[in-house]
Structure 1
Amino acid sequence: MLGVTARVTKVETRARQAEEARDGLTTSLNQVKADRDWMRDQGIGHIVGTILDAPENVAVVNELKECARRAGFKADTEGLYAAAVDAYNNLSLFAIEDIEKRLEAEDCVDRLRLLYERPEEEEEGEEEEAASGAKEDAGTSGTKEN
């Protein structure tokens, strides 16, 4: 009888360990799914926006557009246009370097969330300001023209 009890205890212990391992894997899988969903739904858009809005990128694109406009009017500006295209092709953006550093970390999605998500307090404060501003602007001036 004692041998049977020892074997049952061993089996129960293994079953409990397997259940804990399964729970841990389920939690990890759920986190990976949540990270994937955030990256797909928000992260990629934030990254693209950061690149497009980067001051370095905006300045070079503006210069490129200006040189293209001038090249359309004057043949002697083609060298400037070619230089602007070359500058754009060799552009180094701080924003991309920052994103790349975050992507190298094991918790890269969490780091990107911190970069792009605003604290709830800020969002709530802005919503309250917008709501109170709308209330103040509503209504009439209090005078009536005849």
Structure 2
Amino acid sequence: MKEKATAEPVANEAKEVEARSAKALEKAIADRNTLNKAVEDLKVRDSLTISLDQLREDRDWMRNHGIAHIVGTILEAHENLSAVNELKECAREAGFKAGYNKCLNQVNPFYKSKFTDERSGFHGVDTEVLYVVAVNAYNNLSISAIEDIEKYLEAEDYVDRLRLLYCDPGEEGTVGSSKGDAGTSGAKED
């Protein structure tokens, strides 16, 4: 009986220790889950920060370099240069003929013999129609560089693709960020 009497408090104390240990374990598991959730939240927040930084970098590159490259490509495209030169030439000729005819109209009232545009290089040429044709041709102009640029702009990683297209060794910013990120899409182009 004595042994039973001494063993009973030890057993009760062991049960209490076991219960406290179980509660401590549950609390530790709950704390670990809370910490894991906090770590995941921080990872998401860090990922969002990196994405936001990349978007800012992409926006800055587009603002400082990309738009200028795109506009330059369009303006310097052979099709555009040819059409603009044709348009300028037709406008110059139409203006010259109009000025020549205006001069004839102002001079003719003072002379008995009437001056005509027969000696003009534009005699019998309808420069106005040629000018209208040149304007219509320019308005309907198709520039192959624009089609290439549009293909890049439709991609998710369009900034990276434009950076590759307009790779300028002296230009700040490379594909992705300086940290080695892949850029807008998160995947580098092979």
- Alpha-carbon displacement from aligned partner over 1:29-62 (angstroms, at most 9, x marks no partner): 1100000000000001111111100000000000
| Count of residues paired in the alignment | 120
Are 1:10 and 2:33 counterparts? Answer: yes
Determine which of 122, 125, 130 is the counterpart of 1:80.
130
Higher helix share: 1
What residue is the counterpart of 1:132 in the other structure?
none
| RMSD of Structure 2 on Structure 1 (CA) | 1.1
- Structure 1 segments (4+ residues) deviating >4 Å: none
**Deviation, structure 1 residue 72:** 1.2
Q: Which has the higher contact order (CA 8 A, sep 6+)?
A: 2
Superposition pairs for residues 20-31 of structure 1, below 5 Å? 20-31=43-54
Q: Could you tell me which amino acid in structure 2 is paired with residue 2 of structure 1?
A: L
Larger radius of gyration: 2
Q: Could you tell me which amino acid in structure 1 is paired with residue 158 of structure 2?
A: C
- Give the alignment's TM-score, normalised by structure 1: 0.79
- Alpha-carbon displacement from aligned partner over 1:75-120 (angstroms, at most 9, x marks no partner): 5211100000000000011111111100000000000001112357
- Give the alignment's TM-score, normalised by structure 2: 0.61
Q: Supply the distance in 2 between the matched residues of 1:13 and 1:30 (Cα, whole angstroms).
A: 25
**Structure 1 unmatched runs, 5+:** 121-146
Superposition pairs for residues 1-146 of structure 1, below 5 Å? 1-74=24-97, 76-119=126-169
